Chains A and B, each alone.
Chain A
Amino acid sequence: MKAPRFAYARPATLEGALALLAAHGEEARVLAGGQSLVAMLNLRVAAPRVLVDINRVPGLGEVALGESCVRIGALARHAELERSELVARHLPLLARAVRHIAHPAIRNRGTFGGSCALADPAAELPACALALGAKLVLRGARGERRVAAGEFFRGLYETALEAGELLVAAEFPLPGPASASAFGELARRHGDYALVGLAAYAQRDGPALRDVRLAFFGVADRPVLAARAAAVLEGRRVDEATLARAVAALDLEPRGDLHASAATRRRLAGVLLERVVKELAQ
């Protein structure tokens, strides 16, 4: 488990990083926290010619409050999101989710951008981005573009990032006063990728929920919105009968793997839906 040879560059500016990525195209790989990439190198499942280490690029790690959004820089470490008051106040969903990622040592290095760019289908942060309707900000040699989370995650480890592009930040719309969020995941061991997880968001309207967004993870090749179940909940008060109908409306088709069969995952998704939505309504 030794990585094959690679060249290593550590640009000090965003322009420098983008120039390297443009020059090396598919042969380059961005190195952020390295918590996934270094393992992939050692297991020889990734063998890039050039590693472009973005850790010295200034400004990429900022978490900032804008007029209509919270902007989370790609290099913001999981541990920073965990500690950030700004995140706790405006994006409590993220603050909760991030504690389920791995262990403190990994959270000290792993980054928000790395999690999104890697696009592990069982990862917490992509699901949060989806639930909260975040936009991902991509920068390439030709300029900047914004991609909604729903379009960014394209499949198993697949995103809208093109060769030469860097994920620089995500913009989360500022939730209103009636916004609510809840989070749950089921993992055999704390810190493992979830068997099934759910990041949920809604607007409270009296006893009813509106704008319900249920972002499941670990049940498909990417985080997915359970739209039919959300439609059942939409505008209704959350009671046992509604929940049961929402569970019945879940149209997820998880695949079985080493850790749980498809049937177990389907069942767990239903259990999570009930538990998380109850919390959402409280």
Chain B
Amino acid sequence: MSGELDFEGPASYVGRSVSRPNARRLAEGRGQYVDDIVLPRMLHVAFVRSPHAHARILSIDTSRAERMPGVRRVATGADIARICKPYVGVLTHLAGMRSPPQHPLALEVARWQGEPVVAVAAESRAEAEDACEAVEIAWQELPAALDAERALEPGATVIHAEFGDNLCFRRVVDTGGVDEAFAGAAAVVEDTLSFGRHTGVTLEPRSMLADYNAAEESLTAYHSGQSPHMMQAILASRLGLDEHRVRIVCRDVGGSFGIKIHIYGDEMAACALSIMLRRPVKFVADRHESFLSDIHARDHRVRARLAADREGNVLALEIDDLTGVGPYSMYPRSSAVECNQVLGLTGGPYRHKRYRATGTVVFQNKNPMSQYRAVGHPIATAVAEHMIDRAARALALDPADMRRRNLIPDDAYPCQSPSGMRFEQLSHHACLEKLVALMDYPRLRAGQAALRAQGVHRGIGLASFIEVTNPSPMFYGVGGARIAAQDGCTMRLDASGAIIAATGVTEQGQGTETMIAQIAATVLGVQMSCVKVLTGDTDKVPYGGGTWASRAAGIGGEAVLQAGLALKKNILEVGARILKTDAGSLDIADGRVVKRGTSEGLSLTELARIVYYRGNELPADFQPELVVTRHYRVKDYPFVFTNGAQGCLAEIDPETGFVRVLKMWCVDDCGRVINPKLVEEQIRGGIVQGLGGALTEHCRYDERGQLLNCTMADYLVPMAGEMPDIEVAHIQTPTRTSLLGAKGAGEAGTGGAPGALMNAVNDALAAFGARVTSQPITPDVVLAALGKI
């Protein structure tokens, strides 16, 4: 059947930079985000959040708040707990991991500043906020465990007494032979690297509009999310509803980046309030509470050592990763996956055989930390690439040559990394060579030396990386989470001749719907304008996982392709009856069923008209089926890895410690590229997010566990003015795990950029015998490295 798929031909939309059909609607302000939806009798909820990092609730007095104008209900943790069961954020395949049951609102003890404690539902958000100020809570402040480094020390405040200490998860990977390799090495380099906390900052904040219908015991939840069926399963089970009576609708979603795949107490409380009040209840996080409650990410301290022989062959790598994840592991994906990924991915592009990695995840009294775009990848890549550059410098090798020597050869696949990651087919060398050509690396190096003589300090950084995409059930399902790894597509030919494709993957602004339409139109041989894509509604789309872990194109796209092939087959069977020939001699081209190689035939419009209205013209023993559903899951590998290489040119001002990124390059291999423009914009956006975390974004806590920067003025997201040109190119190694051959591209930019940038900064600092080892790389960090403050 694959022979029928012609992705290279002129009629293929796959491989073309088709612009997004939904862009105009969004640009004209006709998008529909949760906050745009207004239902009759709708209430708004606002939350009283814990002002303390760790405190016992002695008493809550809601009486004054209840009398405030517009207030319809003031609910405490105990009130909500009567409606909503607690949840536990552990995955069983992460052995030994633990986290206590978590309730939507704090019950007796609040464990981070910003944890929701009391919910106020009122006629308007402003009235709800007014009443929040009138809720009186008597607190007994408790000592807080804030510093991950000290969370396991004897005498540390234990956040969950029942556990005895603050350990959430620990894992060790050891191939054996590491100590021996270090003992015999010509060069050993080591460093301790740290990566600050940052967060996702979606343009549209987290939002939930819950509409409980008591008459049918059903709940419709309009949600700004990326995994509708996961939400459906969780809302049903936690709220005691039948799953099929819970409908999740995700219309337009203004970015999510992993922020919106988790269960948040405020959103659960909004649903519980809707049940309690039998009215629609809307929660839209404001920017301030987003900073206090959207998951944070990263926050790692990694000790790393690398051993190499005299020629520069890496012999062994050792890392010890410590990460603090807040007081609870997030439900249902847990907060240990990031650390687990760091262990799995660090050094993954390279040939060495000896690897030891220890990961320790601890609880602390800060906002929960969990999966955010490129989970673990930026850490894994920055650590390994930093160590590779350190070794290259120690051995006086060029960083590009160091990589050429150590990257897994492109003809060595399939193979497995020392941590057990299985690679189907990667292209590290092809990507690196294309990258250095694109950068004109030798010229950059020459220019660097010349400029240095003039007092201009530029650095060049490289980073080779791998990316986890297209996850199989081995990611979450195996650990007991009700998160689908398979995805489906229901495709139909309507009476007008239009193609309607309903898919389980979702659109958050990245162009999923465009990509789906391109595949459907190509497989069916119709104009893209004839294809309508439905996403984000559990009542309307087949069961699926949604969009995360760079899975929408690779998995959702393949389901579309399979559905398209099946629908095409059915259409051709109808065509064969009408044209009185055999189906094998027919094809669909430009919206018409034609005899192969001719234009003779009939349009899909005509065919549909006959099927739907004039069935009498068809043979009596033939029943056309113009609706099909197909599903797909990755079977042969736990994940389908992608790879790539990034380059960075940065300039440092050694007097001020300021870093300016002058240019970024990325060569990415995401398999078959369905839409080059969309892939490139994913890479660019990803790089910008990676640079943000590496340069400016930082959730800063004081010694009492107060988050100090909860506004966009104090939390510095990168702005266009500071961002460099980003040049993107592709290597295409289609995966053989699917007919489509697409892998993911959503996280490659974010995964690679921090490492490339840090290497560029250190390349510039090398002239001063200095280096930085912590991110974000602020003027404080650079000046301290230079010994100037």
Q: Which residues of A lie under 8 Å from residue B125 when comparing CB positions? A: 2
Stretch at the interface among B410-418, B478-486, B709-717, B746-754: B709-717
Cβ distance A70 to chain B, nearest Cβ, rounded Å:
30
> Which chain A positions have C-beta within 8 A of B287?
1
User: Is the pair B719, A191 in contact by a Cβ cutoff of 8 Å?
Assistant: yes
Q: A267-279 vs B: 1/0 string, CB under 8 Å? A: 1100100000000
In the complex, what residue of chain A is closest to B696 when comparing beta carbons? A188
In the assembled complex, the Cα of A193 lies from the Cα of B778 at a distance in Å of 16
- Residues of A within 8 Å of B529, CB to CB, are none
Known: A258-B708, A263-B789, A264-B789. A271 touches B780 (CB 8 A): no
In the complex, residue of chain B having the shortest beta-carbon distance to the beta carbon of A272: B656
Query: Would you call A142 an interface residue if the criterion is a C-beta within 8 Å of the partner chain's C-beta atoms?
Result: no
- B659, closest chain A residue (CB): A188
A260 is an interface residue with CB less than 8 A from chain B = yes
Cβ < 8 Å to A, chain B residues 393-443: none
Q: Closest chain A residue to B655 by CB distance?
A: A271
Q: Does B385 contact A (CB under 8 A)?
A: no
Interface presence of B651 (CB below 8 A): no
Contact between A43 and B288, CB atoms less than 8 A apart: yes
Once the chains are docked, how many angstroms separate the CA of A258 from the CA of B658? Answer: 16
Contact B789 A189, beta carbon cutoff 8 Å: no
Complex Cα distance, B778 from A2, in Å, reads: 33
Is B780 touching A260 in the complex (CB atoms < 8 A)? Answer: yes
B711 and A258 contact, CB distance less than 8 A? no
Given the interface pairs A189-B722, A190-B721, the reply to whether A260 lies near B656 with Cβ below 8 Å is: no
In the complex, what residues of B have CB within 8 A of residue A13's CB? none
**Please, what's the 1-or-0 string for B552-581, where 1 marks a CB less than 8 Å from any CB in chain A?**
000000000000000000000000000000
A 74-105 binary contact with B (CB < 8 Å = 1; else 0): 00000000000000000000000000000000
* CB of B129 closer than 8 Å to a CB of A: yes
* Complex partner residue of A191 from B709, B714, B718, B721, CB under 8 angstroms: B721
Chain A, interface residues (CB within 8 Å), range: 20 to 34
Residue in chain A with minimal CB distance to B722? A189
Within 686-744 of B, Cβ neighbours of A (below 8 Å) are at 696, 700, 708-709, 711, 713-714, 716, 718-719, 721-722
A15 at the interface (CB under 8 A from B): no
Whole-angstrom CA separation of A267 from B653 in the bound complex: 13
Contact B722 A260 (CB under 8 A): no
Q: Which of B653-702 contact A (CB under 8 A)?
A: 655-658, 696, 700
**B696 cross-chain contacts in A, Cβ below 8 A:** 188-189
Tell me the chain A residues, 127-165 only, with Cβ under 8 Å from chain B.
none
Q: Check B658 against A186 for contact (C-beta < 8 Å).
A: yes
Interface string of A244-267 (1 = CB under 8 A from B): 000000000000001111011011
Q: Which residues of A contact B635 (CB under 8 A)?
A: none
In the complex, which of the residues A1, A4, A189, A268 contacts B779, with contact meaning CB atoms closer than 8 Å?
A268
1/0 contact trace for A1-16 toward B, CB 8 Å? 1111100000000000
Interface residues on B, range: 20 to 34
A27 interface contact, C-beta 8 A: no
Q: Known contacts A4-B130, A188-B696; decide if A195 and B721 are in contact (CB<8 Å).
A: no
Expressed in whole angstroms, the Cα–Cα distance for A93 and B482 within the complex equals: 62
Q: A188-B716, A189-B722 are in contact. Are A264 and B780 (CB under 8 A)?
A: yes
Is A192 in the interface zone, CB < 8 Å from B? Answer: yes
Report which of B126, B700, B719 forms a contact with A258, defined as CB distance below 8 A: B700
Task: List residues of chain B with CB within 8 A of the CB of A268.
Answer: 656, 779
Q: Which of A3, A5, A188, A266 has the most CB of B within 10 A?
A: A188
Interface residues of B in 76-130 (CB under 8 A from A): 124-126, 129-130
Complex formed: what's the CA distance from A274 to B788 in Å? 16
Binary contact readout B116-146 vs A (1 if CB under 8 angstroms, 0 otherwise): 0000000011100110010000000000000
A261–B719 CA distance with the chains assembled, in angstroms: 23
Residue B185 at the A interface, CB < 8 A? no
Q: Is the beta-carbon distance between B789 and A267 smaller than 8 angstroms?
A: yes
- B126 shortest CB reach to chain A, Å: 4
Task: Please name all residues of chain B whose beta carbon is closer than 8 Å to the beta carbon of A267 when the two chains form the complex.
Answer: 656, 783, 788-789
**Contact digits for A187-201, partner B, Cβ 8 Å, 1 yes 0 no:** 011111101000000
Distance of A110 from chain B, by nearest CB (Å): 14
Inter-chain contact B721/A1, CB cutoff 8 Å: no
Asked whether, in the complex, the Cβ of B711 is within 8 Å of the Cβ of A264, the reply is: no
Contact A192 B126 (CB under 8 A): no
- Residue in chain A with minimal CB distance to B125: A2
CA gap between A192 and B286 in the complex, in Å: 22
A192 and B717 CA atoms in complex are apart in Å by: 11
Distance A44 CA – B130 CA, assembled complex (angstroms): 10
Which residues of chain A are within 8 angstroms of B700 by Cβ–Cβ distance? 258
Instruction: Give the residue name and chain of the A residue nearest to B710 (CB).
Output: A43
Chain A residues whose CB sits within 8 angstroms of the CB of B713 once the complex forms? 192-193
How far is it, in angstroms, between the C-alpha of A164 and the C-alpha of B421 when the chains are bound?
71
Expressed in whole angstroms, the minimum distance between the Cβ of A41 and any Cβ of chain B is: 11
Indicate if the CB atoms of B655 and A261 lie closer than 8 Å: no
- Minimum CB–CB distance for A98 against chain B, Å: 17
Bound: A263/B789 CA distance, A:
6
CA gap between A190 and B130 in the complex, in Å: 36
Complex CA–CA separation, A192 to B715 (angstroms): 11
Residues of B within 8 A of A44 (CB): 129, 133
Point out the residues of chain A lying under 8 angstroms from B783, CB to CB.
Answer: 263-264, 267
Residues of chain A with a CB closer than 8 A to B788's CB: 267
A192 to B721: give the CA distance in the assembly, Å.
12
Measured between alpha carbons, how far is A271 from B125 in the docked complex, in Å? 48
Set A1, A3, A190: member contacting B288, Cβ < 8 A: A1
Please state if B778 and A189 are interface contacts (CB–CB under 8 Å).
no
Closest chain B residue to A2, Cβ basis = B126
A258 and B655 contact, Cβ closer than 8 Å, known pairs A189-B722, A195-B779? no
Would B714 and A258 count as touching, CB distance under 8 A? yes
- Beta-carbon contact of A264 and B130 below 8 Å: no
Q: What string of 1s and 0s marks CB contacts (under 8 Å) between A154-184 and chain B?
A: 0000000000000000000000000000000
B interface, CB within 8 angstroms of A = 124-126, 129-130, 133, 286-288, 655-658, 696, 700, 708-709, 711, 713-714, 716, 718-719, 721-722, 778-780, 783, 788-789
- Which 7 pairs show the lowest CB-CB distances between chains A and B? A2-B126, A263-B789, A1-B286, A190-B721, A271-B655, A189-B719, A264-B780
Can you spell out 29 A-B residue pairs with CB atoms less than 8 angstroms apart? A1-B129, A1-B287, A2-B125, A2-B126, A2-B129, A4-B130, A5-B130, A43-B288, A43-B711, A44-B129, A186-B658, A186-B779, A188-B658, A188-B716, A189-B721, A191-B721, A192-B716, A195-B779, A258-B700, A260-B778, A260-B779, A260-B780, A261-B789, A263-B789, A264-B780, A264-B783, A267-B789, A268-B656, A271-B655
Known: A44-B129, A188-B658, A259-B714. 5 other contacts (CB 8 A): A5-B126, A188-B722, A188-B779, A263-B789, A264-B779
